[in-house]
Structure 1
Amino acid sequence: MEEIKKQLEELNIGKITLNEPLSKHTTIKIGGPADLFIEPDSIEGLEQALTILKENDIPIRVIGRGSNLLIADEGIRGAVIKMGRGLDHIEESDHQIKVGAGYPLVKLATVMSRKGKGGLAFAGGIPGSVGGAVYMNAGAHGSDVSKILVKARILFPDGTLEWLSNEEMKFSYRTSVLQNERKGFCVEAVFQLTEGDKAEIVQEMKKYKDYRRETQPWSNPCCGSVFRNPLPKHAGKLVEDLGLKGYQINGAKISELHGNFIVNDDEATFQDVMALITHIKEAVLENYGVQMHTEVEIVRS
């Protein structure tokens, strides 16, 4: 990897490091090293990096702000590309905006609300980046990304980039085509917003943001909602009804604030969190006959 690192550095495309601890790039503060870590400073830099990685048959993994990610302690082999600074551009045209995958979703919702642009208020309390939100069709309060996305530019494992329409994204609850038949990652997205009353939009977004702050443990290292809601039931309520809030395995603990959150309470490992996930799944299945499915993306090398 040393030679690949030198080639990339010569292109001056952004941050390039070897054996980067991914615990520094996930909100739950868990994750082993990436063989090669790349944080491009532009789309052009990303494309150049992809060319070199493809020529050398190096596997690619993409991450955003790491808010819905649980990475094994062994880390990730190959190259990890972080969609962060440098891929956080934004362009406005009438009621459409084109946004880089690295743009923070909460910041985008805040900026647009202050301009009287409606459609993104639901994202006022959702952590993570635009790219991650598109990938998993992030949503809350009765809305989600599928309601506003026009198209998304996708990076595929073979290094190609392609625009996919909303229909081609095949969105469903917390899912897109990128997790299934066309595995890939969002590089930038175009959203359709609406004109609205600025004061009302700002107030709506503030309400959602305050609700998240009061009911979810984002002051602790966590990865967000661990399980998808087995609608019409809610994962957090099932966990709470079982009396599992506060239940702990080594450094991993079910939040006492919200049953669908696991916090890194004391140097938790990947295995600690996985053991807790397994315990919850088994308890819910045994007591309610409900099969739980994880919303958090679990990455093993």
Structure 2
Amino acid sequence: MNKEYIYENLLNILDKEDIKLDEPMKKHISFRVGGPADILVKPRTEEQLKNVFSLIKKENIPYLVIGNGSNLLIKDGGIRGIVIEISDNFNAFSIEGNKLTVQSGALLSVVGKAVLREELKGFEFAAGIPGTIGGALAMNAGAYGGEMKDMIKSVRIMDTDGNIVEFTNEQMEFGYRRSILSKTDYVVLSAEIELEKGNYDEIKAKMADFTQRRVTKQPLSLPSAGSTFKRPEGNFAGKLIEDSGLRGLTLRGAQVSEKHCGFVVNLGNANAKDLLDLMYVVKSTVKTKFGVMLEEEVKILGED
């Protein structure tokens, strides 16, 4: 890929400040690791996104779409091609009655505060998840007994040809930490969310309770990607890791959190290889001890 040529073409589509060359991915994922993306772009409109996809298709450029990177681990070699970041440039939302229309780059935490002000319940579990609507939909994010599928009415998506389609809840094929987006190239543009009218104080108390549980039990002060491993059937990843004697295990700059064994954290100076090596040790130890092969919940991408 001729970066300079592609950059010149992108200047016809996007504002200059929304295009970055050789952009360190550690600036864009919550693990704070990862090598450079050849080009990172941040479209502001659906039309811009459509035109970026048109260029990608025409020039046969590899690409990756991300939200705010809260469930990603980018390897130290970085990402070839174009990274499309759908985040703060794409974060508008509106509330009418008990229905929300939310762009995919809106943060769950910001939407949660607005929903509370409108005295709408059903979003409490999501308000503390550190991600965007689009990312949460892609993996059907959940916490404390709630999942995105519980409140989604419909989702507008764009395919790589620039076609826009609206999917119903059923068509999204939501499952445990997955959706139709897990196995397709569709990109979320926006979603319709339906909630119920509730009591302000009760909603606020529930959100405060979930926040307190997170602060108490999760290592929020260190870079991570949330729960590192999926929940194995009939068990809990964190418990298996703890029972394997791995709490606090440190490998160079990476550590199994002392606060919650289900989290692998960056102590501040880790690179991606440190985190991946530690995850391998965790998986192999748990497999040897309990016969359970843990599966990463965090999405691992990029080149070594």
Q: CA–CA distance in 2 between the matches of 1:75 and 1:160?
A: 29
Equivalent position of 1:106 in the other structure:
109
Q: CA deviation at 1:161?
A: 3.5
Deviates more, 1:2-11 or 1:76-85: 2-11
Residue 142 in 1 paired to residue 160 in 2?
no
Unaligned runs of 5+ in 2: none
Amino acid at match of 1:29: R
Q: 2:44 aligns with which of 41, 44, 59?
A: 41
Q: Report how many aligned residue pairs link the two structures.
A: 300
Q: CA deviation at 1:158?
A: 4.9
Q: CA–CA distance in 2 between the matches of 1:159 and 1:287?
A: 49
Equivalent position of 2:264 in the other structure:
262
Equivalent position of 2:175 in the other structure:
172
Q: CA–CA distance in 2 between the matches of 1:153 and 1:293?
A: 30
What secondary structure sits across from 2:12 in the alignment? helix
Distance change in 2, residues 1:225/1:126 (3 Å): same
Residue 187 in 1 paired to residue 186 in 2?
no
Residues 22-76 of structure 1 deviation map (CA, whole Å, 9 limit, x = unaligned)? 0000111011111111011222222222222222221221111111100111111
Q: 2:127 aligns with which of 121, 124, 143?
A: 124
Q: CA–CA distance in 1 between the matches of 2:296 and 2:35?
A: 21
Q: Return structure 1 stretches of 4+ with deviation > 6 angstroms.
A: none
Q: CA–CA distance in 2 between the matches of 1:156 and 1:12?
A: 19
Q: CA–CA distance in 2 between the matches of 1:25 and 1:218?
A: 17
Q: 2:11 aligns with which of 6, 9, 12?
A: 9
Equivalent position of 1:232 in the other structure:
234
Q: CA–CA distance in 2 between the matches of 1:12 and 1:175?
A: 31
Q: Percent identity?
A: 37
Q: 1:95 aligns with which of 95, 98, 106?
A: 98
TM-score (norm 2): 0.94
Contact 1:251/1:266, CA 8 A, preserved across alignment? yes
Contact 1:87/1:100, CA 8 A, preserved across alignment? yes
Q: CA deviation at 1:138?
A: 0.3
- The root-mean-square deviation of aligned C-alpha atoms, in Å, is 1.6
TM-score (norm 1): 0.95
Q: 1:70 aligns with which of 59, 69, 73?
A: 73
Amino acid at match of 2:265: V
Q: CA deviation at 1:160?
A: 4.0
Equivalent position of 1:29 in the other structure:
32
Q: CA–CA distance in 2 between the matches of 1:269 and 1:157?
A: 32
Residue 153 in 1 paired to residue 159 in 2?
no
Residue 276 in 1 paired to residue 300 in 2?
no
Q: CA–CA distance in 2 between the matches of 1:52 and 1:65?
A: 23
Unaligned runs of 5+ in 1: none
Distance change in 2, residues 1:296/1:154 (3 Å): same
